[in-house]
Structure 1
């Protein structure tokens, strides 16, 4: 089993939640030190940013490595890559991160100030 932090479409209420719902542990936040980007207003991407004070909301799940490999990763956009993050409690887990080189392209809107995907979507009049 692998613990993974979801902060977008796989969270409760999102379009991909059904595929991971059985593994939900509960709501969590990252440790401080992350920036947050919208990828075309379709999904979010975390970016480690040591020294920043921002924590991002999400949900923690426990899923099998096979499910991660066969279901989750094939559906992720090319702008994201699997990485390891730190949670507010100091523990580590997997998460989808903004892929190397994506920030430098300057095409993804920074949404760090919202602190989470749901709060950002609310500004667009959306819930998922």
Structure 2
């Protein structure tokens, strides 16, 4: 089993939640030190930044590795990659992070100030 932090469309109520339904541990947040980006307003991406004092909200899941590999990862956009993040309680978890080289492209909107995907979507008049 793998502890996976989701902070976008796979969260409860999101369009991709069916892929992880039944594996929810509960609400969770990152430790401070992350920036948050919108990928075409379709999904978010975390980026570790020790100078950022921001924590990002999401949900923690406990998934079989095979399920993560076969059902979840194939649907992720190329701008994301699987990485290890730190949760608010200091423990590690897997999460989708901004892929190497993507920040330098300068095309992804930074949404760190919203603190979470649902809060950002609300500014667009959308729900997750």
Residue matched to 2:76: 76
Distance of 1:68 and 1:95 partners within structure 2:
11
Correspondence 1:12-27 to 2 at 5 A: 12-27=12-27
Correspondence 1:57-72 to 2 at 5 A: 57-72=57-72
Distance of 1:52 and 1:110 partners within structure 2:
12
Correspondence 1:30-41 to 2 at 5 A: 30-41=30-41
RMSD: 0.5
Deviations 1:9-60 (A, max 9, x none): 0000000101101100011110000000000000000000012110000000
Distance of 2:19 and 2:4 partners within structure 1:
13
Distance of 1:86 and 1:75 partners within structure 2:
23
SS at match of 2:50: coil
Task: Give unmatched runs, 5+ long, in structure 1.
Answer: none
Count of residues in Structure 1 that have an aligned counterpart in Structure 2: 128
2:82 corresponds to 1:86? no
Give TM-score, length-normalised by structure 1: 0.99
Give TM-score, length-normalised by structure 2: 0.99
